[in-house]
Structure 1
Amino acid sequence: MDVVARHLATIDRLRTRDLPAGGAGHHTVELDSGHGPRPAADDLYALREAMAQRLGARWGEAPPWGQLTLRLRLARGEEIPEPWATLCLRTDELDVWQAGTVWLAVGVADRDEADAIRLLATVTRTAPP
């Protein structure tokens, strides 16, 4: 099984897990991480793009969601629901789809230079703000 197919299978399992009823229930998993110099980020971005193409074929093409506006809204003191508040602080952009009753987001968390770069997937019932 190739790496994209493996990550898509993980996302499919994540979508079938129970989310807490009501409120902002969500699950976030690390699909992959870059251990090493910055070029590892290029690999994770390429992997994210490959996944976005396959997921877009399932649920429709959608442009990436830039996270700067959410970060600015947070800085102004606006309350942003989870998991979107955390994701906007960890990623610069997300690929987002609505898949049935849940939202799915995939992004590369690379904003913290002291931390490993990570490819993340999140499912939630909370619509993006």
Structure 2
Amino acid sequence: MDIERYLAAIDELCSRPFPAEHGRSDAGMAGPGYFIAELATSHGARTADAVERTGTAEDFHDVKEAISEQLNSRWGRQQPPWGMLTVRVRIDRGEVIPEPWNTSSHVVDELNVWQADGSGRWVAVGVADREQDDEIRLLAIVTETAQP
């Protein structure tokens, strides 16, 4: 996994305009005010045994932390890691959670979050590994909407 390439992708998302409609983009999912970019995707984790899947997930989390160290150097120490369980509970209770936080809460357990200097956008990095029947994905979220 290439940390520099992932950082360049985050930089590019911080400077490009958001799409007018919800849907797929070249980076992943996108919509008015947000991008959810798939920086990396596992191959074979959805059919792997539990030990292999756990090892792959740990590798993705290590890369997330390496990216986080670089972003901490750039924008200062991140907020404490933001757990998504509370957001999922709020959704289950009927609260409307704005995108991209709604979608990301269903696939990621925890996000590292910063406000990017200069752009005013929020940047989050997480690992989508909640669904055992899906590949593991390293996600970068760039949005103009602060966490709810």
TM-score by length of 1: 0.92
Question: How does 1:1-129 map onto structure 2 within 5 Å?
Answer: 3-20=2-19, 24-35=32-43, 36=45, 37-38=52-53, 39-62=55-78, 63-99=80-116, 100-129=119-148
- SS, match of residue 111 in structure 1: coil
Kept in 2, the 8 Å contact 1:91–1:108? The answer is: yes
Superposition CA RMSD, Å: 1.6
1:9 and 1:24 map into 2 onto residues whose CA distance is 22
* 2:36 counterpart letter in structure 1: T
Question: In the alignment, is the contact (CA less than 8 A) between 1:68 and 1:88 conserved in 2?
Answer: yes
SS state of the match for residue 132, structure 2?
Answer: coil
Separation of aligned partners in 1, 2:112 and 2:141: 10
Larger relative contact order, structure 1 or 2 (CA cutoff 8 Å, min sep 6): 1
Distance in 2, Cα, partners of 1:106 & 1:117: 14
- SS of aligned partner of 1:18: coil
Aligned residues: 127
Query: Runs ≥4 in structure 1, deviation > 2 angstroms?
Result: none
8 Å CA contact 1:90, 1:110 repeated in 2: yes
Unaligned runs of 5+ in 1: none
Q: TM-score, normalised to structure 2's length?
A: 0.81
- Give the Å deviation of 1:64: 1.0
Aligned partner letter, 2:33: G
Residue 31 of structure 1 aligns to a residue whose secondary structure is: strand
Unaligned stretches of 5+ in structure 2? Answer: 21-30, 46-51
Q: Which amino acid aligns with 2:81?
A: P
- For residues 47 and 70 of structure 1, the distance between their equivalents in structure 2, rounded to whole angstroms, comes to 24
Looking at structure 2, the residues matched to 25 and 109 of structure 1 have their Cα atoms a distance apart, in angstroms, of 21
Percent identity between the two aligned chains: 52
